Amino acid sequence: MESIAVVTGASRGIGRAVAEAFAEAGHVVWALARTEEALQSLAEAHPGRVKPLLLDASNANSVVAAAKAVLQGGAPRVLVNNAGIALSAPLKRTSTEDYRRVMAVNVEAPFLLCRELMPAMADAGFGRVINVASTAALKGFTYTSAYCASKHALLGLTRALALEYARKHVTVNAVCPGWTDTDMLQRSVDTIVEATGRTAEQARAQLAGMNAMGTLIRPRDVAALCLFLASDAASAVTGAAYTMDGGEAV
């Protein structure tokens, strides 16, 4: 029987690295994202291993429809909730609409996918859910109230579902990367450059310097951690929050 993995936000960054890693490990990967062209390129790079599926993680109907489409192909063994958006703004400039969008993508979409897919995992007798959170799930950061709230909520969801499904052969864990070398980081670099007049190189160095190792996290390393959490070696690991942050949260 084919092992099916579902990865959201699979068109770029951590999500693409995770989708590629699972495809290369022999899984059939449902790759969910908004950008059709990027999904097609991913599928073409892994023929027969990647099934592209459009998903608007900010839209509950789109999320539920995607879950139902996945289930038509059978119960997945792995769900990686990676799709996420960040918002950097002072509290007084964080609109209600911005807050709701961040919560919809970062919390509601994972909740809905878990609700739709985890019962099928339990019925099949095996499941691994991996929620890609952030060090913002473990600590606060200035000017990121909505983002920090969403990632703290995602970690709470992880822990609650880990307990609920502990005796159903489905584990639920969170991965908490620090600053990772993705498009999201580039947007933060652009913000720093605009606000301070520093060069892009100086801005990247500032972000890397926020952890003890002075380095940015590589998407492929996050993907490797997800592979471990999906493996038999992690069968007794559930409700955990794995940091990969160069010592940032120590």
Q: What pLDDT, in 10s, does the model give residues 183-226?
A: 888 888 888 888 899 999 998 998 889 899 999 999 999 999 99
Q: Which member of 99, 143, 147, 165 is catalytic?
A: 147
Both 203 and 109 in a single domain? no
Indicate the pTM of the whole model.
0.95
- What's the token pair of residue 206? 């500032």
Contact present, 11 and 182 (Cβ < 8 Å): no
Mean pLDDT of 43-70: 98
Lowest mean pLDDT, pick from 18-22, 71-75, 179-183, 225-229: 179-183
Helix axes 200-208, 183-196, angle to 10 degrees: 120
Same domain, 95 and 205: no
8 Å CB contact between 4 and 78:
yes
Q: Is 123 buried (19+), middle (13-18) or exposed (0-12) by CB count in 10 A?
A: exposed
- Known catalytic residue at 143: no
Structural domain of 198: 179-216
- Same structural domain, 77 and 188: no
Give the position of tokens 């289930």. 71
Residues 49 and 164 in one domain: yes
| Number of domains composing the chain | 2
Please tell me whether residues 14 and 119 are part of one structural domain.
yes
Residues 159 and 188 in one domain: no
Give one DSSP letter per residue of 70-85, joined into a string.
HHTT---SEEEE----
